[in-house]
Amino acid sequence: MASTRNYYEVLGLPKSASADEIKKAFRRLARKHHPDAGGAEEKFKEINEAYEVLSDPEKRSQYDQYGAYFGGGGPPPGPGPAGPFGGQPGGTGGFSYNNVDMGDLGDLGDMFGSMFGGGGRARPQAQRGGDLTYEVSLSFDEALSGTSTKIDLRRTEKCPTCKGSGAAPGTSPVTCPVCRGTGHVAQGQGMFSFSRPCPRCGGSGRVVETPCPTCKGKGQVTRTKPLTIQIPAGVTDGGKIRFKGKGEAGVAGGPPGDLYVVTRIAKHPYFSRDGADIVLELPVTLTEAVLGAEIEVPTPGGGRVKLKVAPGTQDAKVYRLPGKGASRLKGGGRGDMKVHVRIVVPKDLNAEQKELLKRFASSRGEADEVRSHLARDEGGA
């Protein structure tokens, strides 16, 4: 006998419910009570039974007339179209759960398909290999002029023995005997049958019967090889240089990744960098600053140039030497060399030198001249 439960109560609907309301109620309850989603099988069967009857106009009419005796001891319900799960009319309203057409349930089918891996053939897609990052240490001069250096690069590469196929030389992958090359198999999940990637071939449809002795069938090997790389002139500390295609090998025919080299530059005894400009802190004596002088200063790369310090040069004065800086990585050309004057005040004067300075200051009235602005400011306050 069919269920003695009231089908309208099973779906939580009044007897006047529309066909659309019946469908919506069924979808909601099916999601909640599906066995593979943690529900009880008996409850799910009851929901299915109620929906099969109430969703079919002829069956619903017969059920409304005969109630609990529908399909049981009362008058037979007569032929009618199969329910949403392939059920046939009559008797207990038996259902063929393994023949469910998930497409008839709209978003419910999408939900179960995503939950259990359904949806057709699953074949591996070509994937780009991963990127690698290495650091190299350079001297200040190497960074300015550019250099070549070697690194020990550990990366995944295409197996040289099997050329990436994973099969031993003289053999090749064959059609998977489990999925027959489709890449997917049917699997029962409670009362449903779902499609999922083949566990034998991983969805590729092909298997390696005789694995390559070098890569053990993986098609890839990990190796450490020395690699000589060119460092362009003008690199900065913490900068990245990209070497296209020098990263990890791709998967399933995908392109390799890239190698990124991060440059770490040692400090120089007296030069520093400001982008493409080279900065030099130049000590200048008090006399040189006052009277002016021609001072020989070092330049990057070991050269030297003469710099004219103008009389009366103040501390922190910046002299610029065009084109004496670092190479610009983008846009070409070179930066400048910026010479920052740092006046060195003598500390170890003898009595005679101190007296001379006092006389000099007295003759110029330096103290009054230097601090006269303070008096002006006070007077205007």
Q: Do residues 11 and 51 make contact, with C-beta atoms less than 8 angstroms apart?
A: yes
Nearest Cα neighbor of 251 from 159, 318, 171, 183 is 159
pLDDT digits 0-9 by tens, 116-161: 444 334 445 678 999 999 999 999 999 999 999 999 999 999 899 9
Alpha-carbon separation of residue 21 from 9, 51, 86, 87, 165 (angstroms): 13, 11, 21, 21, 55
User: pLDDT confidence of 70, banded at 50, 70, 90?
Assistant: low
H/E run at residue 47: helix 41-54
Res. 242 pLDDT band, cuts 50 70 90: very high
Quick one: which H or E segment has residue 352? Answer: helix 351-364
Mapping DSSP to helix (H, G, I), strand (E, B) and coil, where does residue 184 land?
Answer: strand
Please report, as a single letter, which amino acid is at residue 290. V
Within a 13 Å sphere around the CA of 45, how many CA atoms are in the beta-carbon half? 13
The dihedrals phi and psi of 117, each to the nearest 5 degrees, come to: 85, 15
93-97, 153-157, 260-264: the lowest-pLDDT one: 93-97
H-helix or E-strand spanning residue 380:
helix 366-380
Question: Is the pTM of the predicted complex or chain greater than 0.95?
Answer: no
